[in-house]
Amino acid sequence: MTTPTQHGQGYGYRDAVAGERRRRLPAGLRAPVEARTFREFGYLLLSLPLSIMTFVYAVTMVSLGAGLLITFLGIPVLAAALAGARGFAAMERSRARALLGLDVGSPGPLRARGHGPMAWTVALLKSGESWRNLLYGILHFPWAVFAFNVALVFWTVGWTLLTYPLWQWVFPMYTGQGGIQLYGDGAHDIYLDNPFEITVTAVVGLLITMAAPWVIRALTWVDRLLVSGLLGPSRLGARVVELESDRGVVVDTAAADLRRIERDLHDGAQARLVSLAMDLGVAKEKLAEDPREAARMVDEAHGEVKTALQELRDLARGIHPAVLTDRGLDAALSSVASRCTVPVQVDVDLPARPAPAIEGIAYFTVCELLQNVSKHSRATRATVDVWRVENRLMLQVADNGVGGADAAAGSGLAGLAGRLDAVDGILLVDSPSAGPTRVTAELPWRRA
């Protein structure tokens, strides 16, 4: 008796076998019946009526607005044309996402300086994305007409000829010779009067049917270019948004560093110096009464001074180490490695020193990664490699620890990745659960 689990396993096995057989089927044979082909064909069919609507709207509104520019009425008409074009663009992006699998980002909301109709009118007229959306409505119409006709002809002719042997009996116009009349005027009739000719017709239909999906994909490739180029956000606008985001990250990072420095000074060196001042005051009072006790307190204060100085050196090193400024990354990273709880081998191979800002980011990146090695990796050795590849500064910190580091888990690696991203850098983490861990950072190379 077969258990339900066995039934499920059997069905899963048969599904896997069927999927493997579909993958083994050549792409040329799969293409005519693939869902992608039907989606793209449907996209081309829908393009014609939608492009007619957008073309008529764009031409009408632009012509009306241009004609009314002699008065002030033309400006709001043109702004309305641009607003409608943005609406049509949103519809086209959704259609491309659903039928072509093309995910094009929206340009984003308008940035109007102020409130009221006049501010929005000015923002629309100054929006490059809106003008490109309007241009799409004009340019897409002739292409949609061409693509619609080509796709429809290939699709219908191919399937009609391929399936002709199945439906040729629907309109049997027989002649005296027993052939099937396709067309003619009675004097010059053409017949398919034997199975060979019918077979040749089906073979020709098969070839056209197999070619139709590739023709459709070529046509939709042009549509993809039009949608991506005219309906998506401009590269300049996207870059501006990215830079604004990076600026926010840099500002937040600087504020967090300032808070950390203030906290370290307040809780560390400042508190120790206050305690030191109080101890020295007590020792001064006891100097006449009990010189021996006063000497002991001064000796303790001397130790506190050394400790405070060490804390101040560590704090200054955390802000920007002097060895990095004087001798560069090689010496600075060697100094950091010597303080790590895990033996670290440092290899720096740079033809020149990068810009101080890049050098500082590289230094603090390695410091953060080595701190993670000391705290979480349980490793017995680690390596730090620094080199240059074309216009990129490469850093790699590896260890033989337990692994499991994840930059997406909201840990310190996520903050480090955000800092690197703010300067067009990249952080890649390769840390399987059983180890080892290899973290690679890329920074732009900028000469000092």
The DSSP-derived string for 33-81 is G-HHHHHHHHHHHHHHHHHHHHHHHHHHHHHHHHHGGGSTTHHHHHHHH
Indicate the residue type of 125: L
Which pLDDT does position 71 carry in this prediction?
A: 83
Confidence of residue 184 (pLDDT cuts 50, 70, 90): very low
Distance (Å, whole) CA 71 – CA 81? 17
Degrees to nearest 5, angle at CA 390 with 385 and 391 = 95
Residue 355 has which token pair?
């810009």
Residue 216: pLDDT band with limits 50, 70, 90: very high
> What CATH architecture applies to the domain 326-444?
2-Layer Sandwich (3.30)
- Picking from 306, 354, 308, 307, the residue whose alpha carbon sits closest to that of residue 329 is 354
Using one digit for the tens of pLDDT, what is the confidence trace for 232-270?
A: 876 665 555 555 555 555 556 556 666 666 666 666 666
Who contacts 355 (Cβ-Cβ below 8 Å, separation ≥6)?
A: 446, 447, 448
| 328 φψ region: left (φ > 0), alpha (ψ -120 to 50), beta (else) | left
- Report which of 81, 190, 94 is spatially closest to residue 133, judged by C-alpha positions: 81
SS (H, E, C) 11-38: HHHHHHHHHHHHHHCCHHHHHHHCHHHH
Local structure of 118: helix, strand or coil? helix
How would residue 104 be classed by pLDDT, with cut points 50, 70 and 90?
confident
- Cα separation, 292 vs 278, whole angstroms: 18
Which of the two residues, 50 and 201, has the higher pLDDT score?
50
168-179 pLDDT, tens digit each: 776 555 444 544
Q: What percent of the chain has pLDDT above 70? A: 74
- Amino acid identity of 18? A
Burial 166-186 (b: 16+ CB within 10 A, else e): eeeeeeeeeeeeebbbeeeee
The residues with which 383 forms a beta bridge, in sequence order, are: 345, 398
- Span 335-351, mean pLDDT? 86
pLDDT of residue 400: 87
Looking at 2.60.120, 1.20.5, 1.10.1660, 1.10.10, the CATH number of the domain 248-319 comes to 1.20.5
Tell me whether domains 248-319 and 326-444 share a fold.
no
Mean pLDDT on 386-395: 88
Strand partners, 394: 387, 442
Percent of the chain whose predicted confidence (pLDDT) is above 90: 21
Q: Name, in order, each residue with C-beta under 8 angstroms of 340's C-beta and a sequence gap of 6 or more.
A: 370, 373, 374, 382
Instruction: Report pTM.
Output: 0.55
Pairing mode of beta strands 344-349, 382-389: parallel
Residue 87 CB coordination number (10 Å): 12
What is the radius of gyration, based on Cα positions, of the chain?
37
361 near 419, Cβ under 8 Å?
yes
Q: 12-36: buried (b, 16+ CB within 10 Å) or exposed (e) per residue?
A: eeeeeeeeeeeeeeeeeeebbeeeb
The answer to whether the beta carbons of residues 441 and 425 sit under 8 Å apart is yes
Of the segments 43-47, 113-117, 226-230, 388-392, which one has the largest average pLDDT value? 43-47
Higher pLDDT, 355 or 320: 355
Q: Name the pLDDT band for 319 (thresholds 50, 70, 90).
A: low
Higher pLDDT, 425 or 263: 425
DSSP assignments along 355-407, one per residue: -HHHHHHHHHHHHHHHHHIIIII--S-EEEEEEEETTEEEEEEEE-S-----G
Q: Would you tell me the crossing angle of helices 35-67 and 128-162 to the nearest 10 degrees?
A: 140
More confident residue, 178 or 296: 296
**Residue-range domain boundaries for the chain:** 35-169+210-231, 248-319, 326-444
